Structure 1
């Protein structure tokens, strides 16, 4: 695959490496050692520091600050030439969001200022304004100089979006541009009730996208059609809103997306990385390559730039990314390391990736469940509390689907109509803010026989976060929102003296199949809020009702004050088209995202299984927390299983793998006539059994991961 000389570099460079050079690496770095490391890690491309905040080459632009130890050297030139000799693709790394005091003194109108005209300064560096000539003229000159002198394949920059939403720049450039394009004065503070602030949010996204297009115009003009300016993105859509990076817009412009998402976080765990691959491929296409920077230094409760990340922690993050379609990209800070253990982390994974790369590209996910997300919902529903309003329900469904081994794909709300033909189930995880066209796409999906699972405030707000006069999905659900919420709204105290979240679901005697497994209880712990709704026709019926909170302490007072209400918390039914409908009026997705209480996760998974009506393409039986990603590649089915059992402890790092097994895997063949089954991690063939349109394979044990190839 990767030896096809006719392909452009961005179609054949799968493994990447980056040594983020420091200012003293020109003095102490050993390039010959790194060349050997390139070979050991099987990289096909490298990212090398070039210019911007620090120049690693003798720039003719006097205001571009040079690395302290550079002297008369040309470090970028030397490393780039060495990489070319090794046959590697070369990307020039930039960081363009801040500059020195001397630069500011020369061009004060190019830098961010607050409403009082004071510049934004951090660690002696002044933040540049994305709407000034620093971005519009100066950076294009830097790009042109690097291209003319070194001919890199392209550029990356993980600070291209400028300052975050915490700073509203009031420089003359921003004031004039906002007035001309929006017709308003700049807002002076964060205020979601201010129309000018909401429009500033959308405008800020468009300004970044405008610069993306400008930089690519410059690089392609001077470096040719394949010389790309790539920026960098973070794949978590809830996080990227802070930097005004529109993942959908960037994805639509990208044949390769450079992802800067180096490790797991406290909420999302390792499973986040396979999701990263699916989400970015969802906006850029499955023909695009998605390399991701993967940390070899310690991150977590405390970060240590020079300390080696525990080997299992690094490797499982890499493996999870690969399972989701991510291309591995090792990342070290500094060319000289005293903790040399970090250099043992990546090579085994990179070497395995090279051996199996033919199974890891040119494939499509086999998944008929779509988990919907959008930037509008993050912005105009999440507002200043995206963690509580957006991230928790999103994570709740991700974890529930992963634990239940249900293949799913993240789908942008604007792409519902595009993906509808491949989906059986749409999930709206409290997707409150939606455009009219997005709501119409959901409606048409259900009217065509599709199945819908939705929660909380989904579709109750317009794209600006304003409450709609009428629930737009009422025609397909037969349900009206009363726009009242009860229970534990927002973040609650864990102090037992405060018991707002001490509430429950009351289960009826006659149980819906979604409640299977709960036969030995009449209640389920909840802990969340309930949206009051009214059934206006017979499309939906209630499955359980709400039990309000009551004192939790002292125990003598802990008795149910209101054992029953008529407030529904779960409703299910069927549209006239045949599509199944399930609504969580109680925010089970958010509560599960917060607590990981198994009962809540099972409710979410059971609802999706019921909605899918036996049309899921995969069944996996056996112990463990397994992330299962299924793909079709020509006449192959490819299943990547990642073992996450015991892996997501926090605080902490993955110290050892906990093997699980045996595992029985059954897959729908979809017309495939299999002749062999290979286990590419165990290194052996398996003997399958065939039953109608299903194939079943037994895997004795999985330590970190297994790759099953059926062809």
Structure 2
């Protein structure tokens, strides 16, 4: 049941937001907006407050009232929403200011490398280090809003370092760490603000001048990228303090990219892992975009993207329900709806992982002005679905033995929007995809919470986690010494906080000696099965596993096993020379397993997780999942017998007595946008005693019901397990399992 002692913003939310355009101010009808929210079963609304324009009568200096406003838009919305029991957040946006403000205070605004002001749509952009974004303007607006209106919180849009505009030359498409090899050619100077305020703050923090073309130092450039994140974190903390000075029940939340969005997060210098503790509502923009995704479940983002976001947010801010921001319209075509079936599955994915939703539209004051109404019932129906499940999932925790560790620093340095050059996102996404398809429940945990993760999970997965501090290395060593397990790929700990190491930090823990170098990119390589066992289960019909790319040059230490070795090259042309020398004895490892007392490690020196996302060959996912299962030493607490296109997400109630198990069906996903759901039948959910903290005796007294309809489901007691029979899944099913009263 919902815990009434918690703040309203910790519970699953159902938010409606219409971002007002300047043309929307005349004849604004607050009653229609509030009615729109109520018909969609919302429990909160967001309406424009101030910043770029004031949507209320303001007395703050330099704050310009929106053109054509005849009434107090914000005041009327607050009055009508409060009368209807809706919470109200005001949207603010301080990314830029008018030419008049710039003329009066040019020192407040961002500059490019030629000392020219940076602009967006005729307005002048300001960086996080600017007084305009703090006491000189932004904080005065927030104080005015919270003093004048009975608001429940502040939503800050565009709260990153600054609005990036292209520089004189295109930004580099590869990872920033490439500056150590390619120098200035790998730098993106559009990320650099050359204003006096930024130069002063950066110099004070680091002792460096700002990085410039023609006088390039990679150390200075990388220091600047790191400092931008610190500047945003400090400014975000200050903004939160301004809000909280008006009451702890007021919520502060700022627009922030999620994990695995390297281009956006690098531009804004925002890491949700470090920012989440400052936010009362942990909401991330996760808009459905299907352009470029035809016949692809992975591009432009996975159809289960909301699962990645929610699985991370629920650990980034424990005790607060994740919130998935979305729009019923395609974010690249904002006047046309997403395909209803595609949107339905997108929304159900977040709910399966305990998330509420926040709809944001840009094309009218209420649904009466929308030109495309085809998704109306999908949104209203989904908000009813959240409302029904909220008492069951509020403050619930994931039932998972496995944590996939995410490193913001690794993403910042090694990720790239171009998947061909990426050295991080595809690794994480491949690991996540493999676990989802194998029905292995997991959480995604920021590396800043690594110590807590090793106290909760049996297995931590490190997908090419190149940046590891000495302290984090020690945490992992203690974890394995105490019986924990690590599955790692790539070069974990090749860098510390300051730069590259000679050998990677986890080599000893993973049972190898490191030569400190990689092979060249291998085009026609294979893994050769040397010894069969738990790692190779399911590969009985083959001795070979296809692979490619660079491998770390390592050798096994005494006590470690190499069940699969690496055959580096078998060229397909000319075929006369395409043969394998099986007598070779000096092959590098493809996989290394190590048992250290009761602890276990599995190490793949190549990019097996990346292959899951880029190649799709089932052997790679199979090996990765086998590694997790062997390392864990037990079966998953909750799993399913179902096609891999059905994903499972089990949540345990806060009192530990009930499971809510959600299943989402992606069988239609290879063809996007999804136009219809393909029903899957005869699915079985398997629950084991380890699903409960102290282990439960799962007897015939347990019952299962459909969480939305209340229909009772068949439960078979098999040994120590319970098997719940589900006749069919269209897009989404949720079941509740508890002891019968």
Q: Same fold (TM over 0.5)?
A: yes
Tell me what 2:306 maps to. Answer: 273
SS at 1:662 equivalent: strand
- Is it true that 1:695 corresponds to 2:727 in the alignment? no
Asked whether the equivalents of residues 190 and 197 of structure 1 are also in contact (C-alpha less than 8 Å), the reply is no
Asked whether the equivalents of residues 376 and 464 of structure 1 are also in contact (C-alpha less than 8 Å), the reply is no
- Is it true that 1:45 corresponds to 2:64 in the alignment? no
Asked whether the equivalents of residues 92 and 154 of structure 1 are also in contact (C-alpha less than 8 Å), the reply is yes
Cα deviation, residue 626, structure 1: 1.5
Which of these residues, 277, 291, 294, is aligned with residue 252 of structure 1?
277
Q: d(CA) in 2 for partners of 1:190 and 1:143? A: 41
Tell me what 1:427 maps to. Answer: 461
Tell me what 1:543 maps to. Answer: 563
SS at 2:712 equivalent: strand
Alignment of 1:467-506 (within 5 A): 468-488=501-521, 501-506=523-528
Asked whether the equivalents of residues 380 and 465 of structure 1 are also in contact (C-alpha less than 8 Å), the reply is no
Tell me what 2:178 maps to. Answer: none
Cα deviation, residue 290, structure 1: 2.5
C-alpha spacing 1:236/1:474, structure 2 compared with 1 (3 Å)? closer
Q: d(CA) in 2 for partners of 1:570 and 1:549? A: 13
Could you list the per-position Cα deviations for residues 25-76 of structure 1 after superposition, in whole angstroms to 9, with x for gaps in the alignment? 2236544333332222211111111111122222223533333332x32222
Tell me what 1:113 maps to. Answer: 111
- Is it true that 1:458 corresponds to 2:504 in the alignment? no
SS at 2:65 equivalent: coil
Alignment of 1:276-425 (within 5 A): 276-285=309-318, 287-299=319-331, 303-333=332-362, 334-335=364-365, 336-382=369-415, 388-425=422-459
Tell me what 1:66 maps to. Answer: 65
Cα deviation, residue 193, structure 1: 6.1
Q: d(CA) in 1 for partners of 2:470 and 2:437? A: 33
Equivalent pairs, count:
687
Q: d(CA) in 2 for partners of 1:98 and 1:557? A: 65
Asked whether the equivalents of residues 487 and 548 of structure 1 are also in contact (C-alpha less than 8 Å), the reply is no
Q: d(CA) in 1 for partners of 2:216 and 2:497? A: 13
Q: d(CA) in 2 for partners of 1:11 and 1:413? A: 23
Asked whether the equivalents of residues 12 and 390 of structure 2 are also in contact (C-alpha less than 8 Å), the reply is no
Which of these residues, 569, 590, 600, is aligned with residue 570 of structure 1?
590
Q: d(CA) in 2 for partners of 1:339 and 1:571? A: 52
Q: d(CA) in 2 for partners of 1:397 and 1:3? A: 34
Cα deviation, residue 562, structure 1: 6.0
Tell me what 2:664 maps to. Answer: 642
Higher relative contact order (CA 8 A, sep 6+): 2
Q: d(CA) in 2 for partners of 1:383 and 1:461? A: 18
Q: d(CA) in 2 for partners of 1:423 and 1:10? A: 27
- Is it true that 1:621 corresponds to 2:641 in the alignment? yes
- Is it true that 1:205 corresponds to 2:229 in the alignment? yes
Asked whether the equivalents of residues 666 and 694 of structure 1 are also in contact (C-alpha less than 8 Å), the reply is yes
Q: d(CA) in 2 for partners of 1:139 and 1:471? A: 44
Tell me what 2:238 maps to. Answer: 214
Could you list the per-position Cα deviations for residues 543-595 of structure 1 after superposition, in whole angstroms to 9, with x for gaps in the alignment? 22223345546x75783476675333433433332222211122111122212
SS at 2:685 equivalent: strand
Asked whether the equivalents of residues 271 and 627 of structure 1 are also in contact (C-alpha less than 8 Å), the reply is no
Tell me what 1:494 maps to. Answer: none
Tell me what 2:211 maps to. Answer: 187
Unpaired stretches in structure 1, ≥5 consecutive residues: 489-499
SS at 2:681 equivalent: coil
Which of these residues, 649, 652, 656, is aligned with residue 632 of structure 1?
652
Could you list the per-position Cα deviations for residues 259-289 of structure 1 after superposition, in whole angstroms to 9, with x for gaps in the alignment? 222226725413221221121121111x113
Tell me what 1:492 maps to. Answer: none
Could you list the per-position Cα deviations for residues 80-103 of structure 1 after superposition, in whole angstroms to 9, with x for gaps in the alignment? 222112111110011111122222
Which of these residues, 656, 665, 686, is aligned with residue 713 of structure 2?
686
Tell me what 2:601 maps to. Answer: 581
Q: d(CA) in 1 for partners of 2:594 and 2:12? A: 48
In angstroms, what is the RMSD of aligned CA positions? 2.4
Tell me what 1:76 maps to. Answer: 74
- Is it true that 1:177 corresponds to 2:206 in the alignment? no
SS at 1:202 equivalent: helix
C-alpha spacing 1:12/1:604, structure 2 compared with 1 (3 Å)? closer
Tell me what 1:225 maps to. Answer: 248
SS at 2:622 equivalent: helix
C-alpha spacing 1:516/1:12, structure 2 compared with 1 (3 Å)? closer
Q: d(CA) in 1 for partners of 2:713 and 2:12? A: 32
Which of these residues, 94, 102, 120, is aligned with residue 122 of structure 1?
120
Cα deviation, residue 452, structure 1: 1.4
Q: d(CA) in 2 for partners of 1:560 and 1:64? A: 74
Cα deviation, residue 17, structure 1: 1.0
Asked whether the equivalents of residues 260 and 425 of structure 2 are also in contact (C-alpha less than 8 Å), the reply is no
Which of these residues, 515, 518, 529, is aligned with residue 507 of structure 1?
529
Q: d(CA) in 1 for partners of 2:601 and 2:434? A: 18
Alignment of 1:3-22 (within 5 A): 4=4, 7-12=6-11, 14-22=13-21
What TM-score do you get using the length of structure 2 for normalisation? 0.88
Cα deviation, residue 522, structure 1: 2.6
